[in-house]
Amino acid sequence: MRTEKSEALFQEAQAYIPGGVSSPVRAFKAVGGTPRYFVRGQGSRVWDADGNAYIDYVGSWGPLILGHAHPAVVERVTQVAQEGLTYGAPHPLEIELAKLVRAAYPMAELVRFVNSGTEATMSALRLARGYTGRPYIVKFRGNYHGHADGLLVEAGSGALTLGRPSSAGVPEEYARLTLVAEYNDPEGLAALFQRYGEEIAAVIFEPVVGNSGVLEPTPEFLEALRDLTQTHGALLIADEVMTGFRLAFGGATERYGLEPDLITLGKILGGGLPAAAYAGRREIMAQVAPLGPVYQAGTLSGNPLAMAAGVATLEILRTHPEYYQQLEALGAELERGLNEVLHATGTPGTVNRVGSMITVFFCEGPVRRYQDAVRTDVEVFKRFFHGLLKRGVYWPPSAFEAAFLSVAHTPEDLEKTLEAARAALA
């Protein structure tokens, strides 16, 4: 496989862009080697600058549930682009997309559009604090909610640890307002509420974790989240930026019958263009400006192109409920195949999957919490990743990410992927 062009581009990029990339994980630091410059995508395939084709399991990190360059999405965006790119004024497509969000999430009575998942969670937290008048928020170790200051926080040790910044530039004073608990640990969460209960504005969580690799919530954990927040007057924020429209049309909220007060959406919502949202009951969302005192704004928010891509994508998903069965079946097939490959090659490992999100942890299972996930053997992952890459399979370049299936993936794609996986781990 020739990669001269990607290598030259990456060299040149580093002279102009920090690390050569617009988002850190793209730089391949966790796996080594040179990131590929993709210049074309169609269905389940991407092509790099050197002309190599890959079966893609990144899907732009989640948005591309319909595959690359779905004709209906491209057509809708092209049409709208010809009319004008942006106005900084309300646009009819915002109403269409908000209606589709409410169709998926009946609790989303009011929807505010923003440009990224980061903005959505940041704004949802501000709203929760404005609505409750309380200072603290609770997040879970290893859950990722974008890079807003108060969310770039990890735990020290134990569930009662005050938040510590996981990035330079986040003041301790600020991180202290973020309490960190252990995912799938109802007792730890209860202890946190016992101590800080009346000062907690909100609990934010990934309803299925994708950002420590895939971790599924236990029913007891989901129950504790709802009960404890309700009892103590805190808001429950389901961060569905990754899971929204992916695990069902109504996301994890539909799949698990959740009752969050607020949700955040992104990724699939924008159909491949930058759009995200936070949404919830009218009573809470009415605190947002211009209706209420919680300020939040955006020059390009509700951008017509992004709205068009989102509307086209969600309309297809809404009218094709069978796609979710198809993704479930493909996911089950990939899971079964990967388990077989692990077994056949004598590689210790565990496959975690929920619907079309899947992670191979290279350690003995079960993997239910963050501290289980970090036991994965990153050296084996690197061999797995590069073994796939050189055989034309693009897997997420980090051991702690979810791989994504799209409706464009075929059983033949899976067969080829499993062959590559077997060779990579042999």
Ligand X SMILES: *Cc1c(COP(=O)(O)O)cnc(C)c1O
Element spanning 219, H or E: helix 219-232
Which stretch, 10-18, 98-106, 111-119, 307-315, contacts ligand X (CB under 6 A)? 111-119
Phi, psi dihedrals of residue 83, rounded to the nearest 5°: -80, -25
Active-site choice (57, 136, 144, 278): 144
Q: How far is the CB of 278 from ligand X (least distance, A)?
A: 11
Which stretch, 48-56, 205-213, 214-222, 281-289, contacts ligand X (CB under 6 A)? 205-213
Which stretch, 92-100, 123-131, 138-146, 277-285, contacts ligand X (CB under 6 A)? 138-146
Residue 206 interacts with ligand X (CB under 6 A)?
yes
**d(Cα 35, Cα 396) in Å, to the nearest integer?**
11
> Which of residues 35, 130, 146, 355 is near ligand X by CB under 6 A?
146
Binding mask 165-204 for ligand X (x = CB under 6 A): ----------------------------------------
Beta-strand pair 153-154/164-165: antiparallel
Q: Residue 67: which region, alpha, beta or left (left: phi > 0; alpha: psi -120 to 50)?
A: left
For residue 279, the cross-strand partners are 111, 263
**Interaction with ligand X in 328-367: which residues (CB under 6 A)?**
none
Residue 121 interacts with ligand X (CB under 6 A)?
yes
Task: Supply the DSSP string of 335-369, one letter for each residue.
Answer: HHHHHHHHHHTT---EEEEETTEEEEESS-S---S
Radius of gyration of the chain (CA): 21
Which residues, in sequence order, are CB contacts of 135 under 8 Å at separation 6+? 129, 177, 199, 201
Residue 403 interacts with ligand X (CB under 6 A)?
no
> Count residues contacting ligand X (CB under 6 A)?
15
Query: Which C-beta is closer to ligand X: that of 266 or that of 271?
Result: 266
- Cα dihedral across residues 91, 301, 130, 257: positive or negative: positive
Which stretch, 139-147, 250-258, 340-348, 359-367, contacts ligand X (CB under 6 A)? 139-147
Beta-strand pair 235-239/200-205: parallel
User: Is 56 considered catalytic here?
Assistant: no
Residue 266 interacts with ligand X (CB under 6 A)?
yes
Q: Hey, which residues are catalytic here?
A: 144, 239, 267
Binding site for ligand X (CB under 6 A): 116-118, 121, 144-146, 206, 210-211, 239, 241-242, 266, 276
